[in-house]
Structure 1
Amino acid sequence: MAKQLILVEDDKRLSELVSTYLTSEGFDVTTLYSGDNAVSEILSRTVDLVILDLMLPGMSGLEICRRLRTSLNCPIVMLTAQDDDFTEVSALNTGVDDYIIKPFRPHILLARINVLLRRCKEIALPPSDEFLIAQDLRVNVLDRSITKAGQPVDVTDAEFDLLVLLMKNAGSIVERDTLFNSLRGLDYNGTDRSVDQRVSMLRRKLGDHGQASQYIRTVRGKGYLFARKLC
Structure 2
Amino acid sequence: MPKILIVDDEPNIVTLISRYAQREGYNIVTASDGREAIDKCQSEDFDVIIMDVMMPDTDGFTACKKIKEFKDVPVIMLSARGTEFDKLFGFEVGVDDYVTKPFSPMELMARIKVILSHSKSTEQKSDNGKLTVGGIEIDTLGLKVTVDGEKADLTAKEYSLLLLLVKNNGIVLSRDKILNEVWGYDSFGVDRTVDWQIKLLRSKLGDYRDSIKTVRGVGYKFEV
Please indicate, yes or no, whether the TM-score normalized by the shorter chain is above 0.5.
yes
Alignment of 1:1-231 (within 5 A): 2-123=1-122, 124-125=124-125, 127=127, 130-188=129-187, 192-207=191-206, 213-228=209-224
Distance in 2 (CA, whole Å) between partners of 1:19 and 1:190 is 25
**Do the aligned partners of residues 141 and 35 (structure 1) sit closer, same or farther apart at CA in structure 2, a change above 3 Å counting?**
same
TM-score by length of 1: 0.91
Q: Give me the TM-score of the superposition, normalised by structure 2.
A: 0.93
Query: Structure 1 residue 143: deviation in Å?
Result: 1.2
Query: What whole-Å deviation, never above 9, does each CA across 1:167-217 have from its counterpart, x for those lacking one?
Result: 1111110111111112222234796211111111001111368xxx53111
Task: Provide closer, same or farther for how the CA distance between residues 153 and 8 of structure 1 changes in structure 2, counting only shifts above 3 A.
Answer: same
How far apart, CA to CA, are the structure 2 residues paired with 1:115 and 1:14? 21
Give the letter for the 1:203 counterpart.
R
Task: Describe the shift of the 1:45–1:126 C-alpha distance in structure 2 as closer, same or farther (beyond 3 A).
Answer: closer
Q: Secondary structure at the match of 2:179?
A: helix
Q: Structure 1 stretch 31-40 or stretch 180-189: which is displaced more?
A: 180-189
Structure 1: runs of 5 or more not aligned: none
* Structure-1 separation of matches of 2:73 and 2:188: 27
1:48-88 per-position Cα deviation (integer Å, ceiling 9, x unaligned):
11111101111011111111111100111111111112211
CA RMSD of aligned residues (A): 1.7
| Distance change (3 Å), C-alpha of 1:146 and 1:196 | same
Q: How many Å separate the matches in 1 of 2:20 and 2:212?
A: 40
- Preserved contact between residue 179 and residue 195 of structure 1 (Cα < 8 Å): yes
SS state of the match for residue 210, structure 2?
coil
Return 5+ residue gaps in structure 2 as ranges. none
What is the percentage of aligned positions where both structures have the same residue?
Answer: 35
The 8 Å contact of residues 147 and 206 in structure 2, kept in 1 or not, is answered as: no
Shift of residue 134, structure 1, vs aligned partner:
0.9
User: 1:96, 1:156 within 8 Å by CA — same for their partners in 2?
Assistant: no
